[in-house]
Amino acid sequence: MTAIVSVEFLQAEFDRALAEFASSLLPEAMDTAVRKLALDICADTMIGLNGVDGLPKRIDTGRLRAAWRVGLRAAGIKGAVPTSPSKASEPGDGTGEVTANGTHVEATVSNNVKYARFVEDGTVRMRGGHHLKRALILARRNIPTDRSPGSVSDEIHRAFGGG
Amino acid sequence: MATIDPTAREANVLARINTYLNGLSVHGAPKLVLIGENGFVPQRNNPFVRFDWTAISSRDAGRHSATQVATRVDKLLTADVFYADGTERDPHNAYDIVRAADDVAHGLRRMNLDLQDYSDTPAAPTAVTGVRIRALDPPDTTPLPSSDGWARYRVQVPVTWDLRHTA
């Protein structure tokens, strides 16, 4: 029995599909990925503030934690982040925006509560919480192409003799 | 009740790291405030380095043996270097803190420790073979804004080890 298989490569069709992917689907995918990343970082920071995994719990009124949520919403990122039953939340506590230029997408979420830096970094008399730093490390690990220190890709790269 | 494997006792890791940190030679001989050490009160003109660690995550790391699995644990080790700010009447060498932070970063960069089991004989702990406590990445050194009359540098690096436990 003889089987004959023929393959035809439609160059024009391939180019058209690739161009469509690059012009419409790819920017949309990048936008979704970056928004998801911003959401993850803020969510992990809020979880850290709650005192999980032995992290120092830094919740009094809940204002600092709520400000991350305010920032996410300002950036138009509405995800299932933990709700913050805050009694103290003032306008401007959180700001955020997402800007895009083709496949270059940037999400900025800011926590503007005055004492945020002291909760994160600590003071001369108080140890830092490092909640945001921890969230950033966790987020980097989830980016497959990220080679920054601490990422999974970086560990694999070096395990196989990479510099 | 099953005994806890020495590698799974965080107290062993903490004691091993604290022993190492306590032996660091740091410029200006600042007071070393170790991880978990409470009650320290900063005093003007007495520089100090405060160490701390923060849980990042734990991940599956395969099997260690037929009966034990391994879990990779990551912690963020932070060293805050404090030197009193100089004033017009009491000027200080601005580079002392930089040199101290550099010494701390160097110490963390070359950290590669064996795990000591302190549970049986605390005064003479035994080494657990095959477990290393390491800083895999180069530490980040960052100057932070002065506050309360103290200049400050922060040195941070993730440390990693594999713990074993019965599957």
Closest Cβ opposite residue B148 in set A123, A138, A155: A123
A130 vs B contacts (CB less than 8 Å) = 54, 76, 78, 156
B75 burial via Cβ count (<10 Å: 0-12, 13-18, 19+): buried
Residue A53 forms contact with B (CB below 8 Å):
yes
Rg (CA), chain B: 18
pLDDT at A71 over 80: yes
* Cα-based distances in Å from A122 to A1, A133, B80: 78, 13, 9
Integer distance in angstroms from the first to the last C-alpha of chain A? 54
Closest Cβ opposite residue A137 in set B42, B56, B150: B56
Kindly report the nearest CA distance between residue A132 and chain B, in angstroms: 11
Pick the closest to residue B21 from B104, B123, B133 (CA basis).
B104
User: Is the Cβ pair A149, B147 closer than 8 Å?
Assistant: no
Pick the closest to residue B111 from B166, B58, B160 (CA basis).
B160
- Distance, in Å, from the CA atom of B114 to the CA atom of B119, rounded to the nearest integer, reads 15
pLDDT per residue, tens digit, chain B (167 aa), is: 468 888 888 899 999 999 999 999 999 999 999 999 988 999 988 999 999 999 998 888 888 888 889 999 999 999 999 999 888 888 888 899 999 999 999 999 999 999 998 887 888 898 888 899 999 888 999 999 988 899 999 999 999 999 998 87
Pick the closest to residue A128 from A45, A41, A63, A56 (CA basis).
A56
Closest Cβ opposite residue A138 in set B56, B136, B154: B56
Q: What is the ipTM of this complex?
A: 0.85
Q: Which of B14, B31, B56 to mutate to test the interface with A (most CBs of A within 10 A)?
A: B56
Pick the closest to residue B96 from B113, B82, B108, B111 (CA basis).
B82
pLDDT at A37 over 80: yes
Residue A150 forms contact with B (CB below 8 Å):
yes
Residue A142 forms contact with B (CB below 8 Å):
no
B76 vs A contacts (CB less than 8 Å) = 130, 133-134, 137
Whole-number average pLDDT of chain A: 83
- Distance, in Å, from the CA atom of B23 to the CA atom of B147, rounded to the nearest integer, reads 28
pTM of the complete model: 0.82
User: Is the Cβ pair A123, B147 closer than 8 Å?
Assistant: yes
Average of per-residue pLDDT across A65-83:
82
> CB of B158 within 8 A of CB of B109?
no
HSE-CB for B126 with a 13 A CA cutoff: 7
Count of CB pairs separated by less than 8 Å, A with B: 52
pLDDT in tens, A102-157: 888 889 999 999 999 999 999 999 999 999 999 988 888 777 766 665 555 555 55
Could you tell me which CATH class the domain B6-166 is placed in?
alpha beta
> CB of B136 within 8 A of CB of B50?
no
Domain ranges of chain B: 6-166
Give me the count of residues in chain B.
167
User: Is the Cβ pair B54, A150 closer than 8 Å?
Assistant: no
A138 vs B contacts (CB less than 8 Å) = 56-57
Residue A162 has a pLDDT of 55
* Cα-based distances in Å from A90 to A50, A53, A62, A95, B83: 20, 29, 12, 12, 36
- Distance, in Å, from the CA atom of B160 to the CA atom of B167, rounded to the nearest integer, reads 21
Amino acid (1-letter code) at residue A53: D
Sign of the Cα pseudo-torsion (A144, A147, A151, A152, in order) = positive
Beta-bridge mates of residue B74: B57, B160
Q: Using CA coordinates, name the residue in chain A closest to B144.
A: A121
